[in-house]
A and B are shown apart, each in its own frame.
Chain A
Amino acid sequence: MRSFRVLTGAVLITWLVLPLIPLAIWSFARGWFYPDLLPKTWTLRAWDYAMSDTAGVLDSLWLTIWISVAATVLSILVGVPAGRALGMYKFRGKEIVELMILAPTIVPGIAVVLGIHSVFISLGLNNTVSGVILVHLIPTLPYMVLVMSGIFANYDPAYEAQARSLGASPLKTFWYVTLPAIRPGIIVGGLFAFLVSWSQYILTLLIGGGRVETLPLLLFNFATAGRNDITGAIGMIYILPGILILLLTAKHLSGRSGAVGGFGQI
């Protein structure tokens, strides 16, 4: 058991941490060429540039945070009721609804985004931040709904009836009884939604029309321009929120937490 854990840890580190090391080194290097194991000269030039106003990295960072937070909040607002319906009720056409919600995880975004683009043009949503937030819901919602329907499948709504019977209004019932039970699911689903939105490239590029320049777009520009040092610095900034969120919510991701259970498993 113990050796299995060590092995798992080693594999995870190889896959997740090792690829980041050259990126980090590049961000501090002034040229780094074969066959040097490490750069000959070190510099903060790339970081200076990345933090400067001309690069637009910080503006782009705030914009990306805003888009991802908004997409996450909207995903929660839609995903919680949808998950409840799918997790708790039987209704006609339920399988079709499930398939439609899960479809974006199977169908590549690029296949549908052109159609969405023309719809958004007629709605005046293309090249706008709102349009980008809305289109991010396509890949974020499946995760949110999937997590929440799992939570609600194990959830006993009799607790809500009990709260009503004790004098709680529907709103208070939700706040004091439903929310604590589904909170782990909201955290985990929200985390997925945030990270999925955070890493969107194609959807942002096409719907944002290049005017909504999120971090992945910026990163891609520098990467294709061959600026490995600046790409490294932005890359470091880009992965920071993911790591932070992961650390803050780690306890909810373990199998023993309520994230996979709700009231039913307690």
Chain B
Amino acid sequence: MTHVSIKELTKVYPGSRVPSLDRLSLEIPSGELTALLGPSGCGKTTTMKMIAGLLEPTSGDVTFDGRSVLRDKPEDRGVVMVFQNYLLFPYMSVADNVGFGLKMRKIDPAEIKRRVGEMLDLVKLPDLGDRKPSALSGGQQQRVALARALIVQPNVLLLDEPLSNLDAHLRFEMRDLIRSLQQEMGITTIFVTHDQEEAVVLADRVALILDGQMKQYDRADVFYKRPVDEATARFFGGHNFIPGTSDGETFDCALGRVALPEGAALGRGKLTFRPENVRIGASTNGENTLQATIVDVIYLGTQTRLKLRVGETEVEAVVNPNEIESYRAGDELTIHMPKSTLWVI
């Protein structure tokens, strides 16, 4: 169990003026599964490599349980990183790959054999020890890579895009495997991903990094309900941003005067609400009920999106795809937004 703390971590690559990572601070509680989320090139992998000791930070600090580890060599940090492309050693069998970390720790070969067997059982690959990595499928390779990392019982486990190379059905299997092993062993785990769905599905908490800076660090659901700014909301698929002025209780904008939940920001800002929280029909007390015209109906398989015109502005809503016949461009529609689903940024 290790509490990982990142303090003002900055990386400027030689020959570059713009920092790839700009003063990132993050507290990762012991035993938690945290996602570093951000678009490609936002500094996530850079952060991981600095935690693993594979890259030297320009400034800032990384501490494990309060002790700085920057001077520790990568092999002494108790951190194992699992790379996105698994990097199984091609000249070794699966069993030798899994046992590699123990061999480096000079564990007795019989003991290595026993623990490799246990570990392969745990990742559900009991009979593949003698194969070469090239004879495995992508999902199997990933499980070998995970087994190879977990067998050394690291204090901190780092995963680089753990689900992104897998098919849809393998993703959930792998997600469950990673979560159950991580919970069982209580390893503080950090993974990076550019896919908000992957982050939400796997992590206890998500740190969103945009342009080398941390935007928000919260439980996954908060990013949907209470994003800190428009970029954050957009990254999580937010769509409706309507400028106006808040007095703390109501928001005055193109939609009219809309009731706000408690704790909403004051002054000029943007009203945001998720398309899936727009309800069809009037609310029971008539609050936040609006008249809209359908501009376009977009069928997406698992959902149907409606582009609506409300007064001078446009609003997007999501409805049940089974009811697609009931919506046609040009129709009039009554909608409402429950005030708890609104937020001002």
Chain A residues close to B by CB (< 8 Å): 156, 158-159, 161-169, 172, 176-177, 180-181, 263, 266
Least CB distance from B184 to A in Å reads 21
The one of A158, A169, A172, A263 in contact with B90, judged by C-beta atoms closer than 8 angstroms, is: A263
User: Cα distance A156–B75 when bound, in Å?
Assistant: 19
> Contacts A177-B89, A181-B91: A164 and B54 contacting too (C-beta < 8 A)?
yes
Query: Are A162 and B105 in contact (CB-based, < 8 A)?
Result: no
Chain B residues close to A by CB (< 8 Å): 49, 52-54, 73-75, 79-81, 83, 85, 87, 89-91, 100-101, 104-105, 134, 148-149, 152
Chain B: CB-nearest residue to A183: B91
Query: Are A163 and B80 in contact (CB-based, < 8 A)?
Result: no
- Chain B residues near A180 (CB, 8 Å)? 89, 91
The one of A161, A167, A263 in contact with B101, judged by C-beta atoms closer than 8 angstroms, is: A167
The one of B49, B80, B85, B91 in contact with A166, judged by C-beta atoms closer than 8 angstroms, is: B80
- Chain A residues near B85 (CB, 8 Å)? 158
> Contacts A180-B91, A181-B91, A263-B90: A166 and B149 contacting too (C-beta < 8 A)?
yes
Interface of A is mostly: helix
Least CB distance from A40 to B in Å reads 59
Query: Are A159 and B89 in contact (CB-based, < 8 A)?
Result: yes
> Contacts A181-B91, A266-B90: A164 and B134 contacting too (C-beta < 8 A)?
no
User: Cα distance A162–B90 when bound, in Å?
Assistant: 13
Least CB distance from A74 to B in Å reads 27
> Contacts A166-B152, A266-B134: A161 and B81 contacting too (C-beta < 8 A)?
yes
Least CB distance from A54 to B in Å reads 51
Query: Are B91 and A161 in contact (CB-based, < 8 A)?
Result: no
User: Cα distance A165–B148 when bound, in Å?
Assistant: 11
Least CB distance from A156 to B in Å reads 8
User: Cα distance A266–B132 when bound, in Å?
Assistant: 12
User: Cα distance A266–B89 when bound, in Å?
Assistant: 10
Query: Are B104 and A162 in contact (CB-based, < 8 A)?
Result: no
Query: Are B104 and A165 in contact (CB-based, < 8 A)?
Result: no
Query: Are A161 and B90 in contact (CB-based, < 8 A)?
Result: no
Query: Are A162 and B75 in contact (CB-based, < 8 A)?
Result: no
User: Cα distance A162–B134 when bound, in Å?
Assistant: 17
Least CB distance from A187 to B in Å reads 15
Query: Are B79 and A165 in contact (CB-based, < 8 A)?
Result: yes
Chain A: CB-nearest residue to B101: A166
Chain B: CB-nearest residue to A177: B89
Least CB distance from B239 to A in Å reads 38
- Chain B residues near A166 (CB, 8 Å)? 75, 80, 100-101, 104, 148-149, 152
User: Cα distance A131–B271 when bound, in Å?
Assistant: 82
The one of A156, A165, A176, A266 in contact with B54, judged by C-beta atoms closer than 8 angstroms, is: A165
User: Cα distance A229–B24 when bound, in Å?
Assistant: 81
Query: Are B104 and A168 in contact (CB-based, < 8 A)?
Result: yes
- 19 additional contacts (CB under 8 A) given A158-B85, A163-B104: A161-B49, A161-B74, A161-B81, A162-B81, A163-B89, A163-B100, A164-B53, A164-B74, A164-B75, A165-B52, A165-B54, A165-B81, A166-B148, A169-B75, A172-B104, A176-B100, A180-B89, A181-B91, A266-B134
Least CB distance from B135 to A in Å reads 12
- Chain B residues near A172 (CB, 8 Å)? 104
- Chain B residues near A177 (CB, 8 Å)? 89
Chain A to chain B contacts (Cβ below 8 Å), 23 pairs: A156-B87, A158-B87, A161-B49, A161-B54, A161-B81, A161-B83, A162-B83, A162-B87, A163-B89, A163-B104, A164-B53, A164-B73, A165-B80, A166-B75, A166-B101, A166-B104, A166-B148, A167-B75, A168-B75, A180-B89, A181-B91, A263-B90, A266-B90
User: Cα distance A180–B97 when bound, in Å?
Assistant: 14
- Chain A residues near B100 (CB, 8 Å)? 163, 166, 168, 176
- Chain A residues near B87 (CB, 8 Å)? 156, 158-159, 162
Chain A: CB-nearest residue to B97: A166
User: Cα distance A263–B89 when bound, in Å?
Assistant: 9
Chain B: CB-nearest residue to A165: B81
The one of B74, B91, B105, B134 in contact with A165, judged by C-beta atoms closer than 8 angstroms, is: B74
- Chain A residues near B149 (CB, 8 Å)? 166
Least CB distance from B107 to A in Å reads 11
- Chain A residues near B90 (CB, 8 Å)? 263, 266
User: Cα distance A180–B89 when bound, in Å?
Assistant: 10
